Amino acid sequence: MRYHALLARAVTTALALVVLAPAGRAQTLPADGDSALARLNASPRHGEWVKVDAGGGDSVMAWVVYPERRDRAGVVVVIHEIYGLTDWVRAVADQLAAEGFIAIAPDLLSGKGPNGSGTPADRQEAVRLVRELRPDEVTRRLGAAASYATGLPAARTAVASIGFCWGGSTSFAFATSWPSLRGAVVYYGTAPDSAALPRVAGPVLGVYGGDDARVTATVEPTRHAMSRLAKRYEARVYDGAGHGFLRDQAGRDGANRRAAQQAWPATIAFLRQVLGN
């Protein structure tokens, strides 16, 4: 319990430092859905597609972005929404690299799209395909992406996950099945079944919109369950914000933007603390 108290205090301190960071340091929000491609095209960071061996004859395509720094970096696995690996998710990975992390965003629909491709352009088709993914396959592919990225010469072995919507729930679930995971960030996703919570490997940061009752109704039960297990779970609920507020920053009469402006620094503080970045 003392470890969790110290970690909570350290994250609070780190968050204060992030909020007060000089203007020259990277504290830009990730792009919203409309500006993602333009942000990617203007990025000075190196990003590339890689093919990752996922075992058993399977492979997964992933977008990897490198930070501009002189020392080795911690790794963040970025888990896409139910819409698959979109330009917006790649732009989030790019912003994480701007914050000093190596970010890897696997396309969990690799081989599932038309003619063996990945995420299809048709959003509803992507939703259908994501809903057909098997949890064991998702975990195996995420683990392969984490292993690939932490094995890069520029990487440290410390790895955390972040996910959004379906990917948020998947990030929480990944924390129950990947023991070396240092922490998980859950953007507007639900927790796994209570029977799986004892296997949570590290601290969890949950980020939610206040006007997203389908998800936020699960926060207090999760908080109580994690507390009983002496697991670190920090939940932040932002008044007036809706589901998907980090992508839809212009929505809900400014509430989504205000939520993003608070949630992103909290996210970076958490990741820097658990990864030692």
Checking if the pLDDT of 106 tops 70, the result is yes
What pLDDT is recorded for position 10? 42
Q: Is the pLDDT higher at 114 or at 21?
A: 114
Q: For residues 90 and 150, what is the distance between their CA atoms, to the nearest angstrom? A: 19
Backbone angles phi, psi at 35, to 5 degrees: -105, 5
What pLDDT is recorded for position 244? 97
Q: What is the CATH number of domain 2-19+35-275?
A: 3.40.50.1820
Residue 268, token pair as written in the block: 């970076």
What pLDDT is recorded for position 116? 96
β-bridge pairing 155-164 and 102-106? unpaired
Give how far the C-alpha of residue 214 lies from the chain's centroid of Cα atoms, to the nearest Å: 20
What pLDDT is recorded for position 168? 98
What pLDDT is recorded for position 3? 36
> Which sequence spans correspond to the domains of the chain?
2-19+35-275
73, HSE (Cβ side, Cα atoms, 13 Å): 23
What pLDDT is recorded for position 26? 45
Checking if the pLDDT of 6 tops 90, the result is no
Cβ-proximal residues to 187 (8 Å cutoff; 6+ apart), any chain: 162, 163, 164, 165, 167, 168, 207, 246, 263
| Interval 42-59: pLDDT, tens | 999 999 999 999 999 999
Q: Residue 77: enclosing H or E segment and its boundaries?
A: strand 73-79
| Burial class of residue 93 (count of CB atoms within 10 Å of its CB; 0-12, 13-18, 19+) | buried
β-bridge pairing 73-79 and 102-106? parallel
| Burial class of residue 152 (count of CB atoms within 10 Å of its CB; 0-12, 13-18, 19+) | middle
| Interval 119-177: pLDDT, tens | 999 999 999 999 999 999 999 999 999 999 999 999 999 999 999 999 999 999 999 99
Query: Residues 6, 7, 11, 14: is their CA dihedral positive or negative?
Result: positive
How confident is the prediction for the chain on average, in pLDDT?
Answer: 92
What pLDDT is recorded for position 277? 81
To the nearest whole percent, how much of the chain has pLDDT over 90? 89
What pLDDT is recorded for position 19? 37
Residue 161, token pair as written in the block: 């996950």
Mean pLDDT of 27-44: 94
Picking from 186, 173, 162, the residue whose alpha carbon sits closest to that of residue 79 is 162
Q: What angle do CA 235, 142, 203 make, to 5 degrees?
A: 25
What pLDDT is recorded for position 130? 98
Mean pLDDT of 199-221: 97
Picking from 75, 83, 95, 99, the residue whose alpha carbon sits closest to that of residue 243 is 83
For residue 81, count other CB atoms closer than 10 A to its CB: 24
Q: For residues 121 and 118, what is the distance between their CA atoms, to the nearest angstrom? A: 9
